[in-house]
Structure 1
Amino acid sequence: MKFLLLALAIGLLATGAAPAQTSPAPNSWHNKQCAVVLTYDDAIDVDLDNVVPALDSAKLRGTFYLIGSSPVVTKRLPEWRAAAKRGHELGNHALFHPCDGSLPGRAFVTPDHDLHTYTLGRAVDEIRANNTLLTAIDGRTSRTFAYPCGDLQIGGVKFYDQLKNDFVAARGVAPGLQTVAQVDLSNVDAYSINGQNGQYLIDLVKQAQQSHTLLVFLFHGVGGGHSLNVALPAHRQLLRYLKAHEKDIWVAPMVEVAQQIKAVQMPGATKKQP
């Protein structure tokens, strides 16, 4: 009898279901395969001339990281406000876009806005001042930050540590696909795009779908307007793919995706309201 019971037990184990493959939590990406965030830096004319109309046409929403001192903010403020009303995020890219001029390849950095010579207090104050400006434009208080030039530190100190209560998250410049658990909301990975074709962009999305991860695109010029650029056809090809697969891909502004990640990583955490 003992042998019979043992045989039955072994048989049940042998026919049992295989261990489940690693997959995201049911609501990680709103029950979709992955999340994709489209971000556009520097507040340049092509954002309003090329990108916003393209996104609106596809009924997709993006995040625009605005430099508060950009003349394109000043001259076209009503258009930025209208874009925000249609669901696009106006993110913070600092008031003057200071970068560390002591690093290689930084000849473009001016003495007035060299992060290497900033004090921690000055950097924090300017970023908060830009938040005030953005709130005056869109009426929102929940938004995300993008590090100018991807620079994280002043004198070896991470300046964003003093700003974590001011933002939902901060976007970096290091490429990577990450699960909800892997995302560092103080330095979210992003793929910088410069000259790649549409198939490259789509292949990145497919990788995110297969790995159930977050994919953040970092664009500057779209169809011109910046030394870092993606061609209009390539950008259009990406949007068409995202729209055609919207049942499987969650496309949303960075602030919304970051809020979702925070809710999964820290259940019960208070969500900052718009």
Structure 2
Amino acid sequence: MATTVADVLVLQIVKYTNVAAAGLLIFDYCITFGDEVLWTIGRRWGIPSFVFIMSRYAPFIGAAMTAYAGVKSRQGENCIPFNNISNAAHFVGIIGSEVLLLLRTYIFWECSKKFLVVMVPFSVLFSIMAVVFGTAPIPFGIPGSSPACILEGSRSSTLPYGVLLLYELVLMALTLFKRYHHFKNFRSSVIQALYHDGILYMICITLITTTNVVIDAALPAVYSDLLNTPQVVIHSVLASRILFNLRNTANNLGDEPIFVSSPNFRIPSQFESVEV
């Protein structure tokens, strides 16, 4: 809890950062709404579409609630239910974004059933770990939470962010392995789009998660929520762009050996014909 003038100043910076991130989410939505309409409205729904909705819209709830918490004085209120809903929205948005990254990696792995057999249980396990660590942190000598009505978390947030970081590193490693082990001499522009856009965005997502881990683990608790909203916003914005760029690439290529019809992926030719 902020107790000094310096802490109060840092807490104000934390609030402004979260409010600014909410503004960034709204701005990004405005400039990409055309892509969303083009590739989602009137199309047959499938798993990717539901995941996209999670990734695209849950962050609005979490970001709005966090921004409200930053500008509204709530002293004397019972803030725990409010915070639980906000945290749940953040969690749903991040999980949706991670599943979109998983789908992109699945496509890059030629829609391999072996990939699904390994990665689906792995993803479920990591999701459960993140929920457990986030809602009922195991007491490894990590300080507990600050008062509920203060925009300030605890060092225990390091655990779920650490789980998330490890998962993202695994997806990145799988992408790099497939690119240089199987597609080293492959010149398809679709493969290049899958790889270059995907790996760039995954690096950015991994960097924001790494920064959050460092902040929660090493800096004073007053900094803990500095990247609370930016974390979910970056995940949502970049995961959506991976989807939009993939579809735009497929649409522009015409006869190239990949077709992505929102909200379903279908990959023929040298990729096995599979619809997700």
Task: Give the structure-1-normalised TM-score.
Answer: 0.28
Write 1 or 2 for the structure with the bigger share of helix: 2
Q: Which has the larger radius of gyration?
A: 1
Write 1 or 2 for the structure with the bigger share of strand: 1
